[in-house]
Amino acid sequence: MPASRHCTQPAPPTDTPTMPALMPHPLPAFDDNYIWVLTGDDGNALVVDPGDAAPVLAAMAQGLRPTTVLVTHHHHDHIGGLAALLAAIPELEIVAPHDARIPLATRRVDDGDVVRAAGLDFRTLAVPGHTRSHIAFHADDAGTAPLLFCGDTLFSLGCGRLFEGTPAQMLASLDRLAALPGDTRVCCTHEYTLSNAAFALAVDPHNPALQARIDEVRELRARRQPTLPATLARERATNPFLSCDDAAVRAAITARHGRPPADRIETFAALREWKNVFRG
């Protein structure tokens, strides 16, 4: 569990009500997807990327009250449950990027738009690369640690594949996410951390922060616990795809290609291609 501001800040003055950090909760789906749910102080919940309705309907039977769905991109494992959820909750707001491949959206958002859900204001960030219309949602409200729902763009110790974007686009998208506050809790849609760890270690074998993260991840997965959310500060210190300016990462690419990368875009492109063929 990441430390929340609630746990790490000094106690507030007695006349200020305490504000516990809202805890996002991952509902497992398919082999390695997470459908993130977050219930606000008013009891209304948001649901992110429901590729399958069943886990959400099961959570509703336990009291979850979804009012808003946030969709990051059009892939089926992120939208496959929309129709069944809308059938169960006719007034459900479904927020999605402009993309005809995502049916049933009740609201389309652009970069910079603000979506209110679970009592928080989420700012939309366009993050093309995995798909051309991929978006992320970031909340940075006072009273709770910032939250990022980033779909398949940023993973813990990794990043999404480039299905519809160039390395330059994806790197710019990752740069945007990496620039968010370090205490941002990163909620990715897949539990890929352990397999990403093997690649990260091949790239950056002498990084103590990475070693510590891998020890933690192994222990969590041995107990079948999620490795997410991860804090953005920790991702910046451990994720090779956020470290294209790092000397160790450049050195790894130089060793692999026999010459130094021309720039950080080439470093990123080489990392992504290497990861595509890597077998840990």
Binding site for Fe ion (CB under 5 A): 77, 152
272 binds Zn ion (CB under 5 A): no
Q: Which is nearer to Fe ion, 130 or 250 (CB)?
A: 130
> What three-state secondary structure class fits 225?
coil
- B/e letters for 140-166, b = 16+ CB within 10 Å, e = fewer, are beebbbbbbbbbbbbbbbbbbebebbe
CB of 29 to Fe ion, least distance (A): 10
Q: Are 184 and 82 in contact (CB under 8 A)?
A: no
Work out how close the CB of 259 gets to Fe ion at its nearest, in angstroms, rounded to a whole number: 34
- Verify binding: residue 191, Zn ion, rule CB under 5 A: no
Residue 72 C-beta: closest distance to Fe ion, Å: 9
Rounded-to-integer distance, Cα 60 and Cα 63, Å: 5
Nearest distance, CB of residue 245 and Fe ion, angstroms: 28
- 3-class DSSP assignment, residue 227: coil
β-strand pairing of 120-126 with 25-29 = unpaired
| 40/160 with CB nearer Zn ion | 160
Of 194, 185, 215, 199, give the one whose Cα is nearest residue 256.
Answer: 199
Q: What x-and-dash track marks residues 146-165 binding Zn ion by CB under 5 A?
A: ------x-------------
Residue with smaller CB distance to Fe ion, 131 or 267: 131
Contact between 252 and 275 (Cβ < 8 Å): no
Nearer to Fe ion, 48 or 217 (CB): 48
| Shortest distance in whole angstroms from residue 129 CB to Zn ion | 11
The residues pairing with 27 across neighbouring beta strands, listed in sequence order, are 35
By CB under 5 A, how many residues form the interface with Zn ion? Answer: 2
Binding mask 74-93 for Zn ion (x = CB under 5 A): -x------------------
Residue with tokens 């169960």: 88
Beta-sheet strand order (sheet of 185-188): 114-117, 120-126, 135-139, 147-151, 185-188, 230-231
State the catalytic residues: 73, 75, 77-78, 130, 152, 190
Give the Cα separation of 16 and 198 in Å (integer): 46
Cβ-based nearer residue to Fe ion, 99 or 152 = 152
Chain residues binding Zn ion by CB under 5 A are 75, 152
